[in-house]
């Protein structure tokens, strides 16, 4: 008979001795709540106290993105801090701000909210894709008497056709606004003259700084609940042209004009407002062939305007509108008459 060794007892299973098999009990898993990322505000920026925050808000810096993209010198002037402190504020804002991107499909869906302001002329509307588009800047340039200010009055009335509560802001730099013309157009459109006039806010700009300030005030009015759907600047370059004369002042003029255009473009995009600006022209001295007329402002105005239209006088008192630049429309022309009740197709 074979004797069992001491190691044989270790080979006896738990089942043979009647013991419960040992199992490893899994440790319970707990889903710990994730800490939500704190959304930083202006007051969270190091060095920004109540006084500095108030100055920033008054200058239009309302969130971290606006701080992150601001030039240090400009931020220093507007906030009252030193330029090194402004650079630290910008660095913090860049680190904490979230940059969002959208797909082409999302942009397409957002563009369904775009509104069109009709000119009252069928051929003119067809030329520019259905009317003056909201969310962008449309520039019309031409010589005096070509109909730029007439179009400004017409749009101020027609924007109230689809939305009777819509408000038009008319920034007048040349003293062109006429209430009696608005009454004529309102009667022609079948609208209440008094209500149409009441829904137009007129602001006279006395210089370029005042003109830029008025655009900032429009943003504040919209934030307070005013239903602004159209902003007219007639004309865009009159003050800039008279205040900055000579080649030596060209660079500062263009920089200032560029900021003004960016403020208008930002306002149009964020608030889905139609921005209509008129522009003066000059004769190009070195042009020997073709039309020597060119708009003031150069590439600065051209690049910031989504659609550019050239107005000129036609035959028998008519006007000719030529589509000069558009991201999605072909070049073309149309003819129309400016009458007391509005535009009439030839």
Q: Cα–Cα distances in Å, from 228 out to 72, 99, 167, 195?
A: 32, 28, 5, 15
| Per-residue pLDDT tens over the stretch 265-303 | 999 998 999 999 999 998 877 766 777 788 999 889 999
* Whether residue 102 has pLDDT greater than 90: no
Q: Which of 145, 150, 92 is nearest to 121 (CA)?
A: 150
Confidence of residue 181 (pLDDT cuts 50, 70, 90): very high
**Predicted confidence band of residue 38 (pLDDT cuts 50, 70, 90):** low
Binned at pLDDT 50, 70 and 90, residue 14 comes out as very low
pTM of the model: 0.76
Output 102 or 154, whichever has higher pLDDT: 154
Q: What is the CATH number assigned to the segment(s) 104-345?
A: 3.40.50.300
* Residues ≥6 apart with Cβ < 8 Å to 65: 93, 97, 99
pLDDT attached to residue 141: 96
Give me the residue spans of the domains in the chain: 42-96, 104-345
CATH number, span 42-96: 1.10.150.20
- What is the spatial distance between Cα 323 and Cα 310, in angstroms, rounded to a whole number? 6
Backbone angles phi, psi at 187, to 5 degrees: -65, -40
Domains 42-96 and 104-345 share a fold: no
Neighbour tally for 151: CB within 10 Å? 27
pLDDT in tens, 57-87: 877 788 888 888 888 998 998 888 999 999 9
Residue 218: pLDDT over 70? yes
Q: Kindly report the CA angle at 298 between 111 and 253, in degrees rounded to 5?
A: 105
Strand 342-345 and strand 332-339: the pairing is antiparallel
Compute the average pLDDT of residues 189-213. Answer: 96
């Amino acid at each position: 008979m074979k004797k069992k060794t001491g190691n044989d007892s270790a080979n006896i299973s738990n089942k043979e001795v009647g013991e419960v098999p040992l199992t490893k009990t899994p440790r319970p898993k707990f889903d710990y709540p994730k800490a939500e990322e704190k959304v930083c505000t202006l007051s969270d920026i190091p060095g920004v106290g109540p006084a500095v925050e108030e100055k920033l808000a008054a200058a239009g810096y309302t969130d971290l993105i606006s701080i992150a993209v601001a030039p240090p010198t400009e931020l220093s002037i507007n906030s009252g801090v030193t330029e090194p402190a402004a650079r630290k504020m910008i660095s913090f804002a860049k680190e904490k701000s979230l940059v969002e991107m959208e797909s082409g499909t999302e942009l397409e869906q957002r563009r369904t909210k775009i509104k069109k302001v009709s000119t009252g002329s069928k051929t003119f509307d067809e030329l520019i894709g259905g009317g003056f588009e909201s969310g962008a800047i449309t520039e019309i340039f031409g010589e005096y008497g070509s109909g730029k200010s007439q179009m400004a009055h017409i749009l101020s009335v027609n924007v109230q056709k689809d939305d009777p509560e819509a408000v038009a802001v008319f920034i007048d730099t040349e003293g062109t606004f006429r209430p009696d013309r608005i009454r004529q157009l309102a009667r022609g459109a079948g609208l209440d003259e008094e209500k149409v006039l009441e829904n137009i806010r007129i602001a006279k700009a006395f210089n370029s700084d005042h003109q830029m300030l008025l655009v900032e005030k429009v943003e504040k009015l919209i934030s307070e609940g005013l239903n602004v759907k159209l902003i007219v600047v007639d004309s865009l370059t009159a003050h800039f042209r008279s205040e900055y004369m000579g080649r030596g002042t060209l660079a500062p003029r263009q920089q200032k004009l560029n900021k003004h255009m960016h403020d208008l473009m930002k306002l149009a995009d964020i608030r889905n407002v139609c921005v209509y600006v008129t522009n003066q022209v000059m004769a190009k001295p070195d042009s020997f062939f073709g039309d020597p007329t060119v708009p003031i402002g150069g590439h600065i105005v051209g690049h910031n305007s989504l659609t550019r239209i050239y107005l000129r006088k036609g035959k028998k008192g008519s006007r000719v509108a030529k589509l000069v630049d558009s991201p999605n429309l072909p070049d073309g022309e149309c003819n129309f008459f400016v009458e007391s009740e509005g535009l009439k197709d030839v």
